[in-house]
């Protein structure tokens, strides 16, 4: 553990990449273990700084080329928990996995969770993440009751929907730019079992997906895998997955550690159009019946990918681009069909394709990504000369359909695209800490503060 009096002692330098493995930049790493270290660690730094959690964002929103990355994962203590209200206060570097290990045996669960539990509380707030229950629970930020923001001038602010509400709104989904989040309070939801009452339903085409979405409004969790390689009568087929926390009292034990590790860097040719369309066909038919009902543990339901550590190595050294849009209801059907057609025609799509309807619970963040309509998330292996032009085209289509892209999953949108998607970015700029910046922010605002 570093010396709290001088955390800079522990600084190391190297090349760093996020979950998508693209881009990779040189930076200094400053590990933190105590909330009081934020200021001594960052005082007098040249080239700016950025807090990072687990680096589970895909693109460059958690990177700072030639700058200083302040790693918060050592600052992961639980501060308080009230079993009457479910209010949990923890340091910002605590991961959702650590929160679950504490909360599940006590009969509580996260109010909102992404598709991996290996993200920090601070990272979940800074991207105002969403989960399978967005249509009923809104974003993660909807369940944060307060947080502390530490600015590089030494000031500390408690922010909540009623105290410094403008700072609260700027920080939820604020891309880590408004200050360092030192701790936050999150409202957990009660559960009586680890199990989920699960139902998987095959669908054939966008209209069946939309019908299922309408029918499942009262089900807490819904998400779909969609086959984005097929055309013709298999176009937009998929599996609609829905579930509720079981109401039958059952086991409330913590989860075992994942044992599988993706063992090597896959060669570039491992993921090609043939292997992906084969996988898609197998996945679709794995669900042998049109409708499957099961009592499922929450781990495979929420975190199927966490079972294999480092699965991103499957994309090889070049890495992958994630692409996630949200298109409002008025254009959601047309936009989704057009984009899926473009993707199928490109032959570049991967099997990780997730389709979901966002609901209308308002997000508390100024820059929050979700909006009522359809969201689609896709992985593309990076192939020279092909992937970037495709993703740029898809981003333009998203813009034409009135949608926007998710910064947490982005390494490629242009400044013009970002500023059209988020005209409120200039408002965020007014709350930005002068020391803090990211490679994403510099790319999309043309604001290379420290270069
Ligand atoms: C397999 C997988 C599935 C995913 N599924 C979903 C999903 O379903 N829904 C969804 O919304 N997202 C999803 N994501 C994205 C992920 O949830 C977000 O990118 C999340 O923000 C990552 O958290 P992190 O701790 O890794 O933060 P990092 O990626 O390290 O950082 C993210 C941002 O948080 C800021 N930050 C981190 N800590 C602090 C702090 N203490 N103070 C201030 N700022 C801070 C950073 O500066 C950066 O801007 C998924 C990612 C993966 C790899």
For the stretch 50-53, contacts whose Cβ atoms lie closer than 8 Å and that sit 24 or more positions apart, written own/partner, are: 50/176, 50/436, 50/437, 50/438, 51/92, 51/122, 51/126, 51/176, 51/180, 51/181, 51/436, 52/123, 52/176, 53/92, 53/93, 53/95, 53/119, 53/120, 53/121, 53/122, 53/123
Residue linked to tokens 């289509």 = 397
Who contacts 256 (Cβ-Cβ below 8 Å, separation ≥6)?
Answer: none
Q: Are 238 and 203 in contact (CB under 8 A)?
A: yes
Is the confidence at residue 141, as pLDDT, over 60? Answer: yes
Regarding predicted confidence, which is higher, 139 or 10? 139
Residue 8's pLDDT band, with cuts at 50, 70 and 90, is: low
pLDDT digits 0-9 by tens, 110-131 = 999 999 999 999 999 999 999 9
With both helix axes pointing from N to C terminus, report the angle between 329-346 and 387-400 in degrees, rounded to the nearest 10: 160
Is the confidence at residue 340, as pLDDT, over 60? Answer: yes
Q: Are 69 and 60 in contact (CB under 8 A)?
A: no
Is the confidence at residue 4, as pLDDT, over 90? Answer: no
> C-alpha distances in angstroms, 360 versus 256, 335, 374?
35, 19, 11
For residue 25, what is the enclosing H or E element?
Answer: strand 24-31
Is the confidence at residue 428, as pLDDT, over 60? Answer: yes
Residue closest via CA to ligand 1's atom 19 equals 57
Residue closest via CA to ligand 1's atom 37 equals 123
Ligand 1 lined by 72 (C-beta under 6 Å): yes
- Would you call the peptide bond into 442 cis, given omega within 30 degrees of 0 as the criterion? no
**Lowest-confidence segment of 364-373, 376-385, 418-427 by average pLDDT:** 376-385
How much is the pLDDT for 178? 98
How much is the pLDDT for 10? 66
Q: How far apart are alpha carbons 21 and 1 in whole angstroms?
A: 27
**Lowest-confidence segment of 177-186, 274-283, 288-297, 429-438 by average pLDDT:** 274-283
pLDDT digits 0-9 by tens, 323-335 = 999 999 999 999 9
How much is the pLDDT for 311? 79
pLDDT digits 0-9 by tens, 293-315 = 999 999 999 998 887 778 788 88
For residue 292, what is the enclosing H or E element?
Answer: strand 291-297
Q: Are 124 and 110 in contact (CB under 8 A)?
A: no
Q: How far is the CA of 257 from the centre of ligand 1 (A)?
A: 21
The percentage of residues in the chain with a pLDDT greater than 90, rounded to a whole number, is 78
Give DSSP secondary structure letters for 187-222.
E-EE-S-SEEEEEEEEEESHHHHHHHHHHTTTSSEE
Give the residue, out of 62, 379, 428, with the most ligand 1 atoms within 8 A of its beta carbon, to mutate for a pocket test.
62
Among 309, 194, 310, smallest CA distance to 259 is for 309
Residue closest via CA to ligand 1's atom 51 equals 56
How much is the pLDDT for 5? 47
Is the confidence at residue 395, as pLDDT, over 60? Answer: yes
Is the confidence at residue 288, as pLDDT, over 80? Answer: no
Q: Are 114 and 124 in contact (CB under 8 A)?
A: yes
Q: Are 388 and 411 in contact (CB under 8 A)?
A: no
Residue linked to tokens 């993440």 = 129
Residue linked to tokens 């579930």 = 243
pLDDT digits 0-9 by tens, 57-79 = 999 999 999 999 999 999 999 99
Q: Is 195-412 assigned to CATH 3.30.70.2520? A: yes
Q: How far apart are alpha carbons 300 and 298 in whole angstroms?
A: 6
How much is the pLDDT for 324? 98
Residue linked to tokens 């969201």 = 375
- Mean predicted confidence (pLDDT) in 144-157: 96
Alpha carbon distance, N-terminus to C-terminus of the chain: 32
Q: How far is the CA of 62 from the centre of ligand 1 (A)?
A: 8
- Mean predicted confidence (pLDDT) in 204-232: 95
Residue 261's pLDDT band, with cuts at 50, 70 and 90, is: low
Q: Are 437 and 180 in contact (CB under 8 A)?
A: no
How much is the pLDDT for 277? 65
Mean pLDDT over each residue of the chain, to the nearest integer: 91
Ligand 1 lined by 67 (C-beta under 6 Å): no
Q: How far is the CA of 341 from the centre of ligand 1 (A)?
A: 29
The percentage of residues in the chain with a pLDDT greater than 70, rounded to a whole number, is 90
pLDDT digits 0-9 by tens, 264-285 = 665 555 556 666 665 566 566 6
Q: How far is the CA of 181 from the centre of ligand 1 (A)?
A: 13
How much is the pLDDT for 1? 37
Residue 19's pLDDT band, with cuts at 50, 70 and 90, is: very high
Q: Are 21 and 312 in contact (CB under 8 A)?
A: yes
Q: How many CB atoms lie within 10 A of CB 198?
A: 20
How much is the pLDDT for 271? 57
Q: How far apart are alpha carbons 435 and 423 in whole angstroms?
A: 23
How much is the pLDDT for 290? 86
- 69 beta partners: 29, 50
Q: How far is the CA of 292 from the centre of ligand 1 (A)?
A: 32
pTM recorded for the entire structure: 0.95
């Amino acid at each position: 553990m570093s010396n709290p009096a001088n955390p800079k002692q522990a600084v190391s330098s190297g090349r760093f990449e996020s979950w998508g493995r693209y881009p990779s930049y040189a930076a200094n790493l400053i590990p933190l273990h105590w909330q009081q270290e934020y200021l001594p660690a960052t005082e007098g730094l040249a080239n700016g700084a950025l807090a990072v959690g687990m680096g589970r964002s895909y693109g460059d929103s958690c990177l700072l080329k030639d700058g200083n990355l302040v790693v918060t994962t050592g600052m992961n203590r639980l501060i308080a928990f009230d079993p009457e209200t479910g209010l949990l206060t923890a340091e910002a570097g605590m991961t959702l996995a650590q929160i679950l290990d504490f909360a599940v045996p006590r009969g509580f669960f996260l109010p909102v969770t992404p598709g991996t539990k290996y993200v920090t509380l601070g990272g979940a707030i800074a991207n105002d993440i969403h989960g399978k229950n967005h249509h009923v629970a809104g974003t993660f930020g909807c369940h944060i009751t307060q947080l502390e923001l530490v600015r590089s001038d030494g000031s500390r602010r408690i922010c909540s929907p009623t105290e410094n509400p403008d700072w609260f709104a700027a920080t939820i989904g604020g891309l880590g730019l408004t200050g360092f989040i030192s701790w936050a309070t999150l409202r957990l939801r009660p559960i009586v079992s680890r199990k989920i009452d699960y139902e998987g339903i095959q669908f054939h085409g966008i209209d069946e997906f939309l019908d299922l979405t309408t029918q499942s409004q009262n089900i807490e969790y819904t998400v779909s895998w969609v086959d984005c390689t097929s055309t013709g009568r298999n176009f937009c087929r998929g599996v609609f997955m829905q579930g509720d926390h079981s109401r039958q009292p059952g086991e409330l034990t913590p989860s075992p550690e994942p044992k599988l590790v993706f063992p090597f860097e896959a060669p570039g040719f491992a993921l090609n159009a043939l292997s992906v369309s084969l996988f898609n066909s197998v996945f679709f038919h794995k669900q042998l019946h049109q409708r499957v009902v099961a009592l499922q543990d929450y781990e495979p339901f929420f975190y199927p990918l966490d079972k294999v550590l480092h699965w991103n190595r499957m994309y090889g050294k070049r890495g992958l681009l994630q692409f996630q849009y949200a298109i409002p209801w008025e254009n959601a059907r047309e936009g989704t069909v057009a984009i899926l057609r473009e993707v199928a025609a490109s032959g570049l799509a991967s099997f990780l394709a997730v389709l979901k309807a966002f609901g209308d619970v308002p997000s508390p963040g100024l820059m929050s990504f979700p909006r009522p309509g359809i969201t689609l998330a896709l992985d593309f292996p990076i192939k020279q000369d092909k992937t970037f032009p495709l993703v740029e085209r898809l981003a333009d289509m998203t813009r034409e359909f009135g949608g926007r892209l998710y910064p947490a999953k982005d390494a490629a949108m242009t400044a013009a695209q970002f500023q059209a998607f988020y005209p409120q970015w200039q408002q965020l700029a007014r709350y930005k800490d002068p020391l803090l910046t990211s490679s994403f922010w510099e790319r999309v605002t043309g604001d290379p503060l420290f270069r």
